[in-house]
Amino acid sequence: MVYKLLFVCLGNICRSPSAENIMNHLIEREGLSDRIVCDSAGTSSYHIGSPPDRRMAAAARKQGIELVGAARQFQRQDFEEFDLILAMDRDNYRDILSLDRQGKYADKVRLMCDFCTRHDLKEVPDPYYGGPAGFDRVIDLLMDACEGLLEFAMENFKE
């Protein structure tokens, strides 16, 4: 069985592609690429087709992670396609659940920071309008959350 994770932020150019690529880095390091797959999406259509933000990519590169991918918008069928949908903040969380009119998939949607073990933030802040330090902070926060998420995935979704 393959466990599928979807990371979601607003535009899918900063936080969610960073989480996707960090998680893929950790998955590869653990030799789990055949068991856990990742994707990312945005709740808005602002940046469809765009690569990850260059400032976010620079912050990730400092940690040895290359950001790849192209922005796409979250679709209703993602509820069926993915086992766990990870929202970067409460607004994304609400926007995702607003597409689930029957409430069938609420148990699949979680906040990314729920998986942090070193940070106590409840949401991943959007660094888009800030300076370089904000991008570095988001990478550090997502590294923490992804490490916790990988542990969760390995404990809860064994073959």
Q: Does 116 participate in catalysis according to the annotation?
A: no
DSSP the chain: --EEEEEEESSSSSHHHHHHHHHHHHHHHTT-TTTEEEEEEESSSTTTTPPPPHHHHHHHHTTT--------B--TTHHHH-SEEEESSHHHHHHHHHT-TT-SSGGGEEEGGGG-SS---SS----TTS-HHHHHHHHHHHHHHHHHHHHHHHHH---
Out of 14, 15, 55, 89, the active site residue is 15
Q: Does 9 participate in catalysis according to the annotation?
A: yes
Out of 53, 78, 89, 126, the active site residue is 126
Q: Does 126 participate in catalysis according to the annotation?
A: yes
Out of 9, 14, 38, 113, the active site residue is 9
Catalytic center residues: 9, 15, 126
